[in-house]
């Protein structure tokens, strides 16, 4: 019998994207511990207890959880946190986590491409390179994308148009891969979108579609909008594909977030994740639908009764933009000329703090409400042209 009055949760990760998850836990009256080796990150300021460890080492995290008497372990919005948490959950028997084998399939580009090919899931055709294995692109058609198997935010991803460009692209991908494993895949011409599906008993019980754009750094999403412009045909096709993925992998209750490409009525799955997407993605959906995305994630993770009641039907027209720069700089301020009377800004850096170039850093995330669908779809792909960034080195835009 548990004689404690308050149950205990450990949040694995401490940066700004984890704050909505932390407050969803706080609303449940839980004792919250936060782990992460950056004392300056915001979640530590709201925790009942902090553990300054490197959770990228799963055995270090395992030792903490074994000694911490936690009822729940909660991963945040990065792959490292999710993989380490799954390792601990499997070792210690925490429910509602997939096996390490399944998690590795979903969160590793190489393993996921193997899965899609073996099960005829529509995805870009690809080959894989291990270590220093010879380059062989087989029957793939140029242009190609060269990717690290284990990176995120577009790091180390290069588009190549012929074989003479492969060597440099592969070297860059290897520099950005801890595992030194590379995926080379056919470049698909199409628009980029995401699908957030909440699953219960291996069925999709609620989902949203978002349009996404990479405008500053190639292959790093920095702008998006909800509701999506996708047709019902493409939405239905994507749901059918993902329902099959869920069944094939026997996924536990929770979120599965997918990026995919669409051209006309065709769909290609790019990648999936079981963690929350980063950069306050959920807040876009919250503002548009009047729901609490992070709370839905926590609801499923804790095994609570799941219900969604959007306050806005039809949804409000909301765009989201992450402010970055293509050169290193020291931001002083920024302004915008977005044609909206309702712009909300989540500031991530203080004035005078150096900022790396994209995809390694960001200044702020803003959300804008539009009166019409057409206005939203006109502005969202061009958000960066409405931003003026003033730096100590001189204006960049």
Predicted confidence at residue 60, as pLDDT, reads: 98
Report CA-CA distances (Å) from 29 to 43, 256, 360.
Answer: 16, 26, 35
Alpha-carbon span 194 to 199, nearest angstrom: 16
Q: Give the pair of three-digit tokens for residue 121.
A: 């899931």
Rg (CA), the chain: 21
Residue-wise pLDDT tens digits, 7-55: 999 999 999 999 999 999 999 999 999 999 999 999 999 999 999 999 9
Residues 6+ apart with CB under 8 A from 148: 109, 155, 156, 157, 173, 174, 176, 177, 179, 181, 182, 183
* Domains in the chain, CATH or no CATH each: 6-93 (3.40.50.20), 124-184 (3.30.1490.20), 189-389 (3.30.470.20)
Alpha-carbon span 49 to 31, nearest angstrom: 8
Residues 6+ apart with CB under 8 A from 252: 95, 96, 97, 98
**SS3 (DSSP) at 95:** coil
Q: Name the residue with tokens 């929350």.
A: 276
Asked whether the beta carbons of 64 and 73 are under 8 A apart, the reply is: no
Predicted confidence at residue 192, as pLDDT, reads: 97
Edge-to-edge strand ranges of the sheet holding 144-148 = 126-130, 181-186, 144-148, 158-160
User: pTM for the full model?
Assistant: 0.91
Report CA-CA distances (Å) from 348 to 4, 21, 326, 386.
Answer: 37, 17, 17, 19
CB-CB neighbours of 83 under 10 Å: 20
CB-CB neighbours of 147 under 10 Å: 27
Residues 6+ apart with CB under 8 A from 3: none
Q: Name the residue with tokens 């920095």.
A: 222
Q: What is the DSSP letter of 279?
A: T
Asked whether the beta carbons of 118 and 169 are under 8 A apart, the reply is: no
Alpha-carbon span 254 to 199, nearest angstrom: 5
* Chain centre to alpha carbon of residue 135: 30
Predicted confidence at residue 113, as pLDDT, reads: 87
How many helical (H) and strand (E) elements, i.e. helices and strands, does the chain have?
Answer: 11, 18
Which is it for strands 158-160 and 266-273: parallel, antiparallel or unpaired?
unpaired
Alpha-carbon span 11 to 25, nearest angstrom: 9
Alpha-carbon span 117 to 21, nearest angstrom: 34
Predicted confidence at residue 1, as pLDDT, reads: 35
pLDDT tens track of the chain, all 397 residues?
344 579 999 999 999 999 999 999 999 999 999 999 999 999 999 999 999 999 999 999 999 999 999 999 999 999 999 999 999 999 999 999 999 999 999 998 888 989 999 999 999 888 877 666 666 677 788 888 888 876 555 677 888 888 888 888 888 888 877 766 788 888 899 999 999 999 999 999 999 999 999 999 888 899 999 999 999 999 999 999 999 999 999 999 999 999 999 999 999 999 999 999 999 999 999 999 999 999 999 999 999 999 999 999 999 999 999 999 989 999 999 999 999 999 999 999 988 899 999 888 999 999 999 999 999 999 999 999 999 999 988 766 5
Asked whether the beta carbons of 329 and 307 are under 8 A apart, the reply is: no
Asked whether the beta carbons of 194 and 320 are under 8 A apart, the reply is: no
Predicted confidence at residue 356, as pLDDT, reads: 94
């Amino acid at each position: 019998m548990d004689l404690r009055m308050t149950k205990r949760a450990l949040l694995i990760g401490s940066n700004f994207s984890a704050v909505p998850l932390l407050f969803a836990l706080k609303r449940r009256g839980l004792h919250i511990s936060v782990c992460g080796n950056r004392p300056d990150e915001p979640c530590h300021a709201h925790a009942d207890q902090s553990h300054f460890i490197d959770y990228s080492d799963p055995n270090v995290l395992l030792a903490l959880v074994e000694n911490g008497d936690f009822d729940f372990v909660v991963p945040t919005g990065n792959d490292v946190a999710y993989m380490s948490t799954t390792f601990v959950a499997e070792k210690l028997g925490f429910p509602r986590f997939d096996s390490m084998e399944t998690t590795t399939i979903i969160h590793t580009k190489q393993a996921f491409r193997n899965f899609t090919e073996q099960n005829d899931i529509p995805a870009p055709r690809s080959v894989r390179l291990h270590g220093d294995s010879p380059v062989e692109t087989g029957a793939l058609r140029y242009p190609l994308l060269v990717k690290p198997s284990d990176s995120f935010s577009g790091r180390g991803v290069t588009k190549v148009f012929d074989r003479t460009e492969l060597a440099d692209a592969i070297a860059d991908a290897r520099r950005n891969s801890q595992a030194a494993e590379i995926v080379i895949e056919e470049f698909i011409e199409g628009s980029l979108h995401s699908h957030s599906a909440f699953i219960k008993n291996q069925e999709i019980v609620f989902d949203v579609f978002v349009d996404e754009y990479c405008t500053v750094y190639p292959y790093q999403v920095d702008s998006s909008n909800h509701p999506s412009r996708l047709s019902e045909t493409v939405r239905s096709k994507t749901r059918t594909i993902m329902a099959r993925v869920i069944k094939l992998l026997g996924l536990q209750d929770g979120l599965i977030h997918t990026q995919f490409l669409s051209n006309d009525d065709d769909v290609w799955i790019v990648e999936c994740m079981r963690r929350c997407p980063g950069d306050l993605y959920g807040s876009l959906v919250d503002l548009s639908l009047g729901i609490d995305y992070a709370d839905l994630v926590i609801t499923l993770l804790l095994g609570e009764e799941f219900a969604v009641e959007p306050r806005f039907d039809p949804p409000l027209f909301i765009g989201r933009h992450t402010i970055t720069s293509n050169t290193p700089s020291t931001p002083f301020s920024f302004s915008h000329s977005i044609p909206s009377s309702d712009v909300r800004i989540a500031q991530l850096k203080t004035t005078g703090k150096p900022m790396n170039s994209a995809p390694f850093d960001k200044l702020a995330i803003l959300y804008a409400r539009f009166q019409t669908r057409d206005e939203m779809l006109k502005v969202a792909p061009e958000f960066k042209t409405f931003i003026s960034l003033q730096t100590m080195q001189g204006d960049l835009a």
